[in-house]
Amino acid sequence: METLIEGVIGLGAEPGRIVMMLIGAILMYLGIKKEYEPTLLVPMGLGTILVNIPNTGVLMTGGEAGPFQVLFEAGIETELFPLLLFIGIGAMIDFGPLLSNPFLLLFGAAAQFGIFFVIIVAVLAGFDIADAASIGIIAAADGPTSIFVANSLGSKYMGAIMVAAYSYMALVPIIQPIAIKAVTTKKERRIRMKYKPGEVSQPAKILFPIIICVVAGLIAPVSLPLVGFLMFGNLLRECGVLDRLSVSAQNELVNLVSILLGLCVSVKMVYTDFLQFDTLLVMGLGLLGFVMDSVGGVMFAKLLNLFRKEKINPMIGASGISAFPMSSRVIQKLATEEDPQNFILMQAAGANVAGQIASVVAGGLVLGLLL
């Protein structure tokens, strides 16, 4: 009873704990009720509540590191969890739509505009270049890449960056439609595109991840851990002789690592670290970058339309972000809302997987310039 009373008094004396616990509850609500990335937001939300309980044992136990801290040191500081997650993500991705229409690679590149835009804005706002670069990578809408880059650069805003990256990934269905509608007209969103499926041979699908690894290694060698693990996962999928490993990577590996990653992120959600003006600014800049990624992709598509006879639906440009496959689904939903007979899912999916590659390469380029 005495311990209970001390805990209640501790909560009353430090209202920041209550604020963070409410934030944790909101994250869990979004995961459970709205089904926004539940494998990440539910453990992240519960973890946020647990780490903000006075004298919590999940961070420190008897003067030694508690279970959450041990997981953080083993999985985040070593960058192991993000890399393992990339194996599963790679196994999920079908590069067929991209290989049948390589032109879509351009949209993956264009939709990384927000990264470099926010790096410039963050530097102008007074952040040092390492923190600014780490903040900019939030715009990639790629949690593992954000963690990898922020940890490699030693950013002191790791917690805010992790939370922003995964939160905005989960909120793609809310954020992207607003950004897209702000820079497109109803007529543009109704543009129909012909889909001409091309035959992609199995040897081509096997060679693609290998070639990407070599090219990425030559362009941005620092990106090879991310690109290599992503492409290894895709090789499991496409080689045809490792189906059991591919299925395990897509399901058991991704689910387990996502749970552990969600719990690890909560280590940086302690109110004394999180409820700071700089942290809120980081979250705001991350959101700005995410929006500018979508806007950049849309504006690039509109620019191309000035020179093309066969017009591109500008929304395809916005699907060039890394949030796969959520972004391509959002784009198709928006297209269907404007015209129930407009089907652009395959083009959006191709741009979406291009964005997965481009975000990793962009992260590697940033690291290559700063390390």
Report pLDDT digits (tens) over 66-76: 888 999 889 88
pLDDT at 199 over 80: no
Domain that holds residue 75: 2-370
19 CB neighbour count, 10 Å cutoff = 14
pTM of the model: 0.85
313 contact partners, CB below 8 Å, separation of at least 6? 188, 189, 191, 192, 193, 301, 335, 342, 344, 347
Question: What is the number of helices (H) and of strands (E) in the chain?
Answer: 22, 2
Average pLDDT over residues 5-29: 80
Q: Which tokens in the block code for residue 97?
A: 């739509």
Q: Name the residue among 285, 282, 261, 290 with its Cα closest to residue 355.
A: 290
Q: How many domains does the chain have?
A: 1
| Token digits of residue 1 | 């009873």
pLDDT band at 6 (very low <50, low <70, confident <90, very high): low
CA distance 78 to 305: 45
Burial annotation 249-266 (CB, 10 A radius, 16+ → b, else e): bbeebbeebbebbbbbbb
Measured CA to CA in angstroms, residue 231 lies from 25, 109, 308 at distances of 36, 18, 33
pLDDT for 122-156, tens place per residue? 999 999 999 999 999 988 878 888 888 888 888 88
Residue-wise pLDDT tens digits, 201-230: 889 999 999 999 998 888 878 888 888 999
